[in-house]
Amino acid sequence: MSFKQLFSRSLGAAPGRLHMAAHSHHLWPDASFDGQVECWDDASRLADRKWDRIMGELWPAAQAEVAAELGSGDPSAIIFAANTHDFIIRLAAACPRADPRRLRVLTSDGEFHSARRQFARWAEDGWLELETRPAGEILEAARGGNFDLVMVSQVLFATGEIISDINAIAALGKPSGPWVVIDGYHSFMALDTPFQVTAAASAFYLAGAYKYAMAGEGLGLMHCPPGFGPRPPITGWYAEFGDLEAPPGGVGYTRDAMRFMGATFDASSLYRFLAIRRMLASEGLTTTTISAHVAALQSYLLDAIDGTALASADLLNPLEGGPHARFLAFRSPRAADWQAQLMAANCITDVRGEVLRVGLGLYHDAADIDAFAQIAAGLTA
């Protein structure tokens, strides 16, 4: 089955390109264009009053969509920002610490750059103490250590490994510390209900619409467990709208997730996201059905590249019949060279160190796999 008709603008804009990097920069469906135009029309038609619609209609609609997708059960616990890095800064500032002089942080060795780089830089200044462990050791280390903040990806961005004990890690979170943060950048709209009610009660969850939500830049999202960080020190004026808690003469905060809000933002990503969600609903497409579509193509691809140079690589995330990342991770000393050879043939993949990542999505079909296998047959071993 093919769903290319839903991506006619993106595919038609570069007809000779074979885009096999849906995990990196997912092509935008036509519905996103409709959402972008709707945003512009509202800004022109409503002018100042556009915020009544954005915050009164679009924001709660997007909250509900995210909560339903996560399985977290509470739309009011969801907020949005331009990117997840913005949330990391707010969380680090708000997180309680046993020693007021430093924040003790535990992360895996497979975290994405927004966390890895920022934590490492803060550690250089001495006020953040960072411990990094293999992802499989995070639960044991978090139980045994005196950490203020524990952050781990649900799906590791370099290898596609899925961390199975997310619920157990999330259960360690307490308002007084430690805070647990699950990075769901490669699980949101890639795994079915990846962050359900039990985990949502005691952990934060970060994700964005740039990947499998297909809505592009500008829509980072965070689930905020109730009772954690009632007064974040990095705060914008949107955090004082609603049901306020405030000391006399002090700075007020809402009681729900809006307490972590910043200030004025570009709402176009909300329009794109909601337009895409409407498209998926009208087509009867869910994360489960899209994952099944991708899984079938991944299996076909592995068969199709048999006998090519890629078959000599170590597949870090083999297909085992259960939930799977939306990309295949091939480890080889030749990975960077293969990526360059593929790029020269106008076939887009990406590489992380010695890992070539091939990502598939809703806009791929069997013909794309055949074309990829034909190019892969020319790769040098």
Q: Which of 121, 128, 120, 115 is nearest to 84 (CA)?
A: 115
263 plus 345 within the same structural domain: no
| DSSP string over 339-355 | HHHHHHTTEE-EEETTE
301 plus 325 within the same structural domain: yes
Task: Report, as an integer, the average pLDDT of 115-125.
Answer: 96
Residue 200 to residue 12: CA distance in whole angstroms: 41
Residue 365 to residue 264: CA distance in whole angstroms: 40
Task: Report, as an integer, the average pLDDT of 276-280.
Answer: 98
pLDDT score of 60:
98
pLDDT score of 241:
76
Reported confidence tier of residue 1, pLDDT bands at 50, 70, 90: confident
Quick check: is 381 in a domain?
no
pLDDT score of 282:
98
Residue with tokens 């927004």: 114
Predicted TM-score (pTM) of the model is 0.95
- Quick check: 326 and 22 in contact, CB under 8 A? yes
Reported confidence tier of residue 245, pLDDT bands at 50, 70, 90: low
What percentage of the chain has pLDDT greater than the value 90?
A: 92
Task: Report, as an integer, the average pLDDT of 209-221.
Answer: 96
* Max Cα–Cα distance, the chain, nearest Å: 73
* CATH number for 329: 3.90.1150.10
* CATH number for 220: 3.40.640.10
Q: Which domain does 18 fall in, by range?
A: 4-29+286-376
pLDDT tens track for 91-114: 999 999 999 999 999 999 989 888
pLDDT score of 237:
87
pLDDT score of 70:
98
For 28-77, strand residue ranges (E) read none
116 plus 67 within the same structural domain: yes
Residue 256 to residue 244: CA distance in whole angstroms: 9
pLDDT score of 159:
94
Q: How many domains does the chain have?
A: 2
**Looking at this protein, which amino acid is placed at residue 16?**
G
The token pair that represents 6 in the structure block: 């839903």
pLDDT score of 250:
79
Residue 220: strand, helix, or coil: strand
Cα dihedral 247/250/256/262 (nearest 10):
-170
pLDDT tens track for 323-349: 999 999 999 999 999 999 999 999 999
pLDDT tens track for 121-176: 999 999 999 999 999 999 999 999 899 999 999 999 999 999 999 999 999 999 99
Residue 157 to residue 184: CA distance in whole angstroms: 10
159 plus 237 within the same structural domain: yes
Of residues 127 and 250, the one with the higher pLDDT is 127
Question: Which of residues 254, 277, 300 is at a domain's end?
Answer: 277
Exposure string of 276-308, with b = 16+ CB inside 10 Å and e = fewer, is bbebbeeeeeebeebbebbbebbebbbebbeeb
Q: Which of 92, 261, 74, 103 is nearest to 181 (CA)?
A: 92
- Quick check: 163 and 152 in contact, CB under 8 A? yes
Helices 113-125 and 84-94, axial angle in degrees (round to 10): 40
pLDDT tens track for 231-242: 999 999 888 876
Of residues 62 and 113, the one with the higher pLDDT is 62
pLDDT score of 381:
76
Residue 23 to residue 71: CA distance in whole angstroms: 22
Q: Is the pLDDT confidence value at 374 over 90?
A: yes
Q: Is the pLDDT confidence value at 244 over 60?
A: no
pLDDT tens track for 19-51: 999 999 999 999 999 999 999 999 999 999 999
296 plus 358 within the same structural domain: yes
The token pair that represents 300 in the structure block: 């076909």
pLDDT tens track for 311-323: 999 999 999 999 9
Supply the mean pLDDT for the chain.
96
328 plus 260 within the same structural domain: no
pLDDT score of 246:
62
Question: Which of residues 277, 302, 326 is at a domain's end?
Answer: 277
pLDDT score of 242:
67
Residue 102 to residue 84: CA distance in whole angstroms: 22
Residue 123 has a CB neighbour count (10 Å cut-off) of 17
Residue 370 to residue 381: CA distance in whole angstroms: 20
